[in-house]
Amino acid sequence: MSLILFAAPTEEVGRKARKIIRRKGLSIPVLVTDDKSACAEIESHPEALVIISRGGVAEEIKKISGKTVVEVTTSFNDILTAVAYLSSKDCHRIAIVMRDNILFDTPQNFSLADTDIFVRPCRTYEEIEATVRSLVIGKTVDGIAGCRYAIRVAEENGMLNSYVDSSESSIEKAINDAVKIRDAKKKEALQLEQLQAVVQNIQEGIAVLDENKHPLFFNEEANRLFQGNILRNLPKQMEPYIKDYTGEQLITIGENTALFRMIPIGMRDQHENTVLVFHETGSIAKSEQKIRTSMYQKGLYAKKHFSDILTVSPRVKKLLALAESFAQTEANVLITGETGTGKEGMAQSIHNASQRSRKPFVSVNCASIPPNLIESELFGYVEGAFTGARRSGKKGLFELADGGTIFLDEIAELPLNIQGRLLRVLQEHEIMRVGDDKIIPLDIRVICATNKNLRDMVDEGKFREDLYYRVNVLKINIPPLRERREDIMMLMQYYFHQFAPKIEFSSWFDKRLKNRLMNYAWPGNIRELRNMAEVFACYADGYGSRIHLDELMDGSRMSNNKNTIEIPLGLSLKEIEIAVIDRMLEQYTPEETCAKLGISRVTLWRKCRREV
């Protein structure tokens, strides 16, 4: 199947075209036609997108929509050939009468030796006939060269004539141009196919219109909005909106309501095509609900109280007493601690012990919100703020927390530009929705949490220093389980009983297993311990045996604890002491090592030098 067709106006042009096509190894059909039958014959070749022709035939083919016409022009040499023939017949005044689309770079009038040549380009057959008859009647020329129709009129009026044929070079140039256009169209078609694949897989309805505002292509969502017949319904239903378009607006399409946006495509003011974007309000609500459901599974309330935080550790009990005193203030709180230490539970407990306990508690995981949504989710937006924005706008999370507490977990993950906006909220207790210029006052308390060192991030330029001082007013550092080992077995028993209430705890947790649990570092802290308790409960509840439990322990990270050390039997006490100090210095600074061992730096230095 060829995308190119050569429509020759004469047998001679057709013969030359076939010769060139064979020589170039191309597959281009050639048909000989005239002006009257050209359109019908071309339409019988629907696969042909590029048509090569000349003169009146080319003009007729241009009337067919969707076809690109490459015209065979007449070179100056082609005209000189016809002029030379008439000059040999003693013609000294010669007129060139042809359609203007054939004449290319031909001077209006010129002379060759003793011969004057007059060029008369015409647009229609009527104009050609009138021009030839005028030349004959006025006896201003003694010979006429031109197209087929001009020659026929000249013969009818007894005027000497010569047909201006197209040379092989002119025909070959047209064929080369057609091949380039075909290749460009194939590339364009591939790009369009790729674009359609993308468009078909997005939620919005998309339709691209031509210059007459008829759909060129569209996706299934757009077709659905227009009752499954977008080709018939869109031009009629969208005409008033397109004509008077002033910006994004809410429109009604049949039984559907959608946000509508129009994007002109073209160079400068020459807008040829138009892209229409439709976002059904129902789908916006569903998307928003999906995001909210995933973000706020715990709702706008706090479940935990200080009484829910289990501990026998004096250090943690002291920390809880401090947190309870913080709850009575309105100051910002920064909770730090490793992953799984219970930072959100602490934040909820502070809220429930405060004067704001009956107000909303909004929990936000800053790392879980996509970067392109975080600003609108935190601060809200107004109508028309962006594509897909709800018509009535939407409250942000800070507004939802008004009167209560907002908990910003993993605050270290906030982008720097959002950190700047958060700083203003903390300073001024007011926000501005995306796309709005109105200030909204807020009455909120902010509790932040992180498992990273914000001071180090400030030094690295990853966290704003001014924001750091704003959030770090009252600080609570929750110790990891390895620093409160007295809580390990108490918590293990509590969670084990939750998962296996009918199993006696002591019957499964013998001394050897308890020692292994107590010596494990618990990098995942309470979250990891709870998970391990569930695993133990499954084995104890009939899914395994104590042997399986031992295998589980041997295969876990407990067998590779970086916070333990293997001491071979037979070492002296001094050798054991040296091994412990060396191992601790691998993990801690000298100051931390001294604090944990309860010795001075001088003593540590002497022991490292093996003096004591």
Phi, psi (degrees; rounded to nearest 5) at 175: -65, -45
Question: What does 510-552 look like in DSSP terms, one character per residue?
Answer: -HHHHHHHHHS--TTHHHHHHHHHHHHHHIIIII--HHHHHHH
> How many Å apart are CA 527 and CA 583, to the nearest integer?
27
**In the predicted model, is pLDDT for residue 33 greater than 50?**
yes
Among 16-25, 212-221, 309-318, 484-493, which stretch is predicted with the lowest mean pLDDT? 212-221
pLDDT at residue number 154:
92
Structure tokens at 487: 């809580």
CATH class given for the domain over 4-72+170-177: alpha beta
Highest mean pLDDT among 127-131, 437-441, 506-510: 127-131
Query: Which residue type sits at 364?
Result: V
Higher-confidence residue: 35 or 429? 429
State the Cα angle at 192 between 189 and 198, rounded to 5°.
150
pLDDT at residue number 297:
47
Mean pLDDT (the chain) is: 82
What is the chain's alpha carbon radius of gyration, rounded to the nearest angstrom?
43
Interval 197-216 mean pLDDT: 82
pTM for this model (two decimals): 0.46
**In the predicted model, is pLDDT for residue 507 greater than 80?**
no
Q: Using 50, 70 and 90 to split pLDDT, how confident is the model at 294?
A: very low
Higher-confidence residue: 216 or 307? 307
pLDDT at residue number 235:
81
Q: Are 58 and 12 in contact (CB under 8 A)?
A: no
Q: Using 50, 70 and 90 to split pLDDT, how confident is the model at 231?
A: confident
**In the predicted model, is pLDDT for residue 449 greater than 70?**
yes
Q: Using 50, 70 and 90 to split pLDDT, how confident is the model at 530?
A: very high
Highest mean pLDDT among 164-173, 278-287, 319-328: 319-328
Q: Using 50, 70 and 90 to split pLDDT, how confident is the model at 395?
A: confident
**Does this chain's domain 76-165 share its CATH topology with 481-560?**
no
User: For 64-113, how does the pLDDT look when each residue is reduced to its tens digit (9 = 90+)?
Assistant: 877 889 988 888 888 888 889 999 988 999 999 988 777 755 667 888 88
CATH class given for the domain over 296-477: alpha beta
Domain boundaries along the sequence of the chain: 4-72+170-177, 76-165, 204-284, 296-477, 481-560, 573-608
pLDDT at residue number 317:
94
Inter-axis angle of helices 371-379 and 281-295, nearest 10: 90
> How many Å apart are CA 555 and CA 481, to the nearest integer?
21
C-alpha to C-alpha distances, 230 to 49, 214, 225, nearest whole angstrom: 25, 10, 8
Q: Using 50, 70 and 90 to split pLDDT, how confident is the model at 296?
A: very low
Among 214-223, 295-304, 460-469, which stretch is predicted with the lowest mean pLDDT? 295-304
Closest CA to 97 of 125, 115, 119: 119
> How many Å apart are CA 537 and CA 528, to the nearest integer?
14
Q: Using 50, 70 and 90 to split pLDDT, how confident is the model at 387?
A: low
pLDDT at residue number 558:
54
Q: Which residues of 103-117 are buried (b: 16+ CB within 10 A; e: fewer)?
A: beebeeeeeeeebeb
User: For 552-584, how does the pLDDT look when each residue is reduced to its tens digit (9 = 90+)?
Assistant: 555 455 544 556 666 666 677 777 787 788 777
Interval 114-129 mean pLDDT: 88
Query: Is CATH 1.10.20 correct for 481-560?
Result: no
Strands in 203-332 per DSSP E: 205-209, 215-218, 249-253, 256-267, 270-280
> How many Å apart are CA 375 and CA 380, to the nearest integer?
7
pLDDT at residue number 210:
82
Q: Using 50, 70 and 90 to split pLDDT, how confident is the model at 609?
A: low
**In the predicted model, is pLDDT for residue 352 greater than 90?**
yes
Among 126-135, 379-388, 389-398, which stretch is predicted with the lowest mean pLDDT? 379-388
CATH of domain 204-284: 3.30.450.20
pLDDT at residue number 299:
60
Closest CA to 81 of 164, 139, 5: 164
Interval 326-355 mean pLDDT: 93
**Largest Cα span, the chain:** 134
Strands in 337-413 per DSSP E: 361-365, 405-409
Query: Residues of the chain with pLDDT > 90: what percent?
Result: 25
User: For 149-182, how does the pLDDT look when each residue is reduced to its tens digit (9 = 90+)?
Assistant: 898 899 999 899 998 888 888 899 999 999 999 8
Interval 322-350 mean pLDDT: 93
> How many Å apart are CA 533 and CA 353, to the nearest integer?
30
Higher-confidence residue: 238 or 53? 53
Give the fold, CATH level 3, of 76-165.
Rossmann fold (3.40.50)
pLDDT at residue number 384:
56
